[in-house]
Amino acid sequence: MMHLIVLPIVLPLVVGILLLYRRQGGTRLKRLAGVGSTALLVLVGIALVGQAASGEVTYYALGDWQPPFGIVLVLDRLSALMVLLTAVLALGAVVFACDGDDERGSNFHGLFQWQLMGINGAFLTGDLFNLFVFFEVLLLASYALLLHGGGKARIQAGVHYVVLNLAGSALFLIAVGVLYGATGTLNMADMAARLAELPAERAGLVTAGGLMLLVVFGLKAAMLPLYFWLPRTYAAAPAPVAALFAIMTKVGVYAILRVYSLIFGEAAGPLANLEQAWVWWLSLATLVAAGVGVLAARDLRLLVAYLVLVSVGTLLAGIGMGSPRAVSALLYYLIHTTLITGGLFLLAELIGQQRGKAGTRLVRGRPLQQGGWLAGLFFLGAVSVAGLPPLSGAIGKALLLAAAEGGQRPWLWPTLLLTGLCSLVALSRAGSTLFWRSQGEPSGEALTWRKWFGVTWLLAASPLLVILAGPVSDYTEATAAQLADPQRVIDALLPTAGDAP
């Protein structure tokens, strides 16, 4: 079991290398390898969650170089949850892609596996520099996947995406250098221990480095004013890629949660909670901007992209509230929104395929050949993502609203509820246009089981999260409590932290 922690990185790395090396191989073999590897990642994720559920923080030292000097992968409740969530999302996306989307360009399955490697590595790494490295791995793979199949819109969106993320990467590297110069370490647990004894003259450098990291993570999470790249990029991406991208903003949210709860936790003294005020106000601004974008969207894919932004604002508000109860609520909501928005990207593709030239534009088009089933899935996804009872979106938002304290309530309650109303209005308008305002004869081919599986696999998460709300909430509460006690991570990785200089 000791090598289980490294498997979410090694498995997609090896499979990706083999798929890219044999890129001229048969389509069937590539699909079997891609789906098989992703399904194994689901099983590995389940095993990691079971291992982390004990509450023990464990680590894997690559090359047996012990922390704080070596590269370590750290497993706790949060990292295990994120690895499993990524695998579940990826399985639905890759099965959907096997119906022909993977053949519209080259090397889809190899790049898909490498992106999973980068995402999993970002969730498991225990030091800042390797967080930067895994960010670059997942971004490099995402550049190629975004352009899969070509097209003017994808190339234009891809250029914006690449330029902004290259700027973010440069700032990330500068921030890491500043923090290393001030603390003498890159291991996050060791940095947290050293900040408790940081000389006063270095506090300014650490503050600058910490705020630069917040800009970088805010860009990855698509926090206002750094979100303008996301709507067009996600709307232009191939459907399976857009579905996988639903976890990409959560990487930024995870990084904020991890870095600022561990390094800049209560033990950091004057530097504690460095990000909280910034994240709180910017999250509310993100919610407002996303609500306006949802109402303005005239394409179903663009509408779903703005719904991703709504979820980002909601999650960041949970971080900004700064309490374990709020963190527990945002983790429940994170599971819900990642899977549901991923499923809606896939569903938008199915609807567009059966509407003729209208595609996913919210205009009058042809009747859908399988309109009843598609309408049912759209209704399920819309009710869930808008936060209406009795599905998981309502539970997640209710938990967040209940977690608001004192002066937070007058700001969070109206903002979150009005944004939910905007989402409901936009989705209702989209549904009536897509399924009622039709003309002509049905067009398009009947959908295959692979595409039905991909959409149903992800959207079924909403009723399942309601059924399992008790156990899932128990897990998220324990995760929030673990994050609120960074000393447990420090003690697990650095047993002699108290003797450190």
Express each pLDDT in 432-449 by its tens digit.
Answer: 999 888 777 776 677 889
Distances (CA, A) of 116 to 82, 90, 425, 457: 12, 8, 35, 18
Pairwise CA distance, residues 108 & 142, whole Å: 11
Token output for 53: 């559920």
Could you give the CA distance from residue 467 to residue 420 in angstroms, rounded to a whole number? 23
Checking 260-263 for CB contacts under 8 A at 24+ apart, the result is: 260/210, 260/214, 260/319, 261/483, 261/484, 261/486, 262/188, 262/189, 262/192, 262/483, 262/486, 262/489, 263/188, 263/191, 263/192, 263/195, 263/210
Contact 425, 382 (CB under 8 A): no
446 CB neighbour count, 10 Å cutoff = 7
Residue 390 pLDDT exceeds 90: yes
Mean pLDDT (the chain) is 92
Q: Is it the case that residue 369 has pLDDT exceeding 70?
A: yes
What is the widest separation between alpha-carbon atoms in the chain? 77
Q: Which tens digits make up the pLDDT trace of 33-68?
A: 999 999 999 999 999 999 999 999 999 998 888 888
Work out the number of other CB atoms within 10 angstroms of the CB of residue 95: 24
**pLDDT per residue over 191-239, tens digit each?**
999 988 888 889 999 999 999 999 999 999 999 988 889 999 999 999 9
Q: Are 454 and 93 in contact (CB under 8 A)?
A: yes
Structure token digits, residue 105: 């360009």
- Strands 58-61 and 72-75 come out as antiparallel
Q: How many angstroms separate the CA atoms of 109 and 145, rounded?
A: 10
Lowest-confidence pick of 111-120, 201-210, 309-318: 201-210
Interacting residues of 469 by C-beta distance below 8 A, sequence separation 6+: 332, 392, 395
